[in-house]
Structure 1
Amino acid sequence: MWWVGCHGGAGVSTLARLVGFGLDFGKGWPTLTPAMPATQVVLVCRTSAAGTWAATGAIEQWRRRSGMSASMTLLGVVAVAASPRRPPRIATERLQLLRGWAPQIWRVGWVDALLAADDPRDVGAPPDIEALRTTIWQRARMNLDGKR
């Protein structure tokens, strides 16, 4: 499974470390090769106007399958809080719109302690990350079992 950022600073590296599985692919859709014919992707964005706009573009690319293999499965989008405050209305509205396009939308809250950590694993996974880990792992396994 690959974590793919919809934009820079989405939190892909931090999420991949906290969840403990999957590969941080950075920004942009993975290119599949014959040696790796299929993969599962989770998109990551910030819950901001710019972040949700970038997620909208990434979802549109996936819906059109622009330059990507049909064997690529999108598990969903993780929207990471951009601040400890309530997200702007435009971001909330865009996430609501994305619910109709993406297989799943997950939201992850703000964690102040991560700002001071060299490695996010030193902080430990908060409850919403633990729930995300379980849900994505189950969804990934379900997709793999269904393709066998």
Structure 2
Amino acid sequence: MTVALQMRSPRQRGLDPGTVTAPPPHRRAPVREHPLPTTGPHPPLVAVLGAHGGAGASTLARWWAPAADTGTAWPGNPRTTQQVVIAARLCIPGLTAAADRLREWHAGLAPEGVTVLALVLTATRPGATPAAVRRYCATITDLAPCVYRIAWHDELVVRELDELARYTPNDPAPPRRIRLTDTVPADVHRAGTDLIARLAAIRPTREEKGSRS
């Protein structure tokens, strides 16, 4: 169980919109007008947006306790978080959909207030990633501030979503052999820990901006 973190300098804004080709209107994501659900004791810190159906957004939002599932729609309501993680499957269609969402954000077409923190790519099968997918992935991930790669976990096939254990900040690293009902996988834990650190790093900037407005 491994996670690959492709680190870059924190990018709180998109690229220059003039340098990005936006997806055509029929390939753009809808906008969620309602606030994200609060299912735990605190409002969510991050919204997980599926770049396509079956991207694993619901599973990631379950695994990461500070996250909420925004489906395939941008979180457009400022009453809850607009810090976004884009989820996609590690396959050509998944990467194409992820590129659409990233280009949409860079082009300034996401709702006001939205910041993309990372792209999460989840394996579609056990074993090695096909060469064609690896090559295409290398061109897409340059659009993302950070990339997390989550391995294939067989046990997900036999578990309901509400059976899965949850990661909360400051949880200790899980042991090598686990059951998904007891703890999250190591790659999910590492990605969650890094994501929380990124959120903490940008919070002072956001609070400082609010105090000046």
Report the TM-score when normalising by structure 2: 0.64
**Unmatched segments (≥5 aa) in structure 2:** 1-45, 166-180, 208-213
Q: CA deviation at 1:142?
A: 1.1
Structure 1 residue aligned with 2:89: 46
Structure 1 residue aligned with 2:58: 13
- Report the more deviating stretch, 58-67 or 129-138: 58-67
Over 3 Å counting, the alpha-carbon distance change for 1:6 and 1:64 in structure 2 is same
Structure 2 residue aligned with 1:112: 154
Structure 2 residue aligned with 1:56: 99
Equivalenced residue count is 145
Q: 1:30 aligns with which of 75, 86, 92?
A: 75
Q: 1:81 aligns with which of 99, 102, 123?
A: 123
SS for the counterpart of 1:27 is: coil
CA distance in 2: counterparts of 1:139 and 1:59, whole angstroms:
18
What root-mean-square deviation, in Å, do the aligned CA atoms of Structure 1 and Structure 2 show?
1.6
Decide which structure has the larger Cα Rg and report it.
2
Contact 1:47 1:80 in 2 (8 A): yes
Q: Spell out structure 1 runs of 4+ moving beyond 6 A.
A: none
Q: CA deviation at 1:40?
A: 0.4
Find out whether 1:90 has 2:132 as its counterpart: yes
Higher helix share: 1
Aligned residues with identical type, % of pairs: 27
Report Cα offsets for 1:71-93 as digits up to 9, x if no partner. 21110100011111222223222
Higher strand share: 1
- One-letter amino acid matched to 1:58: R
Q: CA deviation at 1:123?
A: 5.5
CA distance in 1: counterparts of 2:133 and 2:65, whole angstroms:
27
CA distance in 1: counterparts of 2:148 and 2:132, whole angstroms:
17
- One-letter amino acid matched to 2:48: W
Contact 2:50 2:56 in 1 (8 A): yes
CA distance in 2: counterparts of 1:123 and 1:50, whole angstroms:
32
Find out whether 1:68 has 2:127 as its counterpart: no
CA distance in 1: counterparts of 2:76 and 2:88, whole angstroms:
20
Structure 1 residue aligned with 2:199: 140
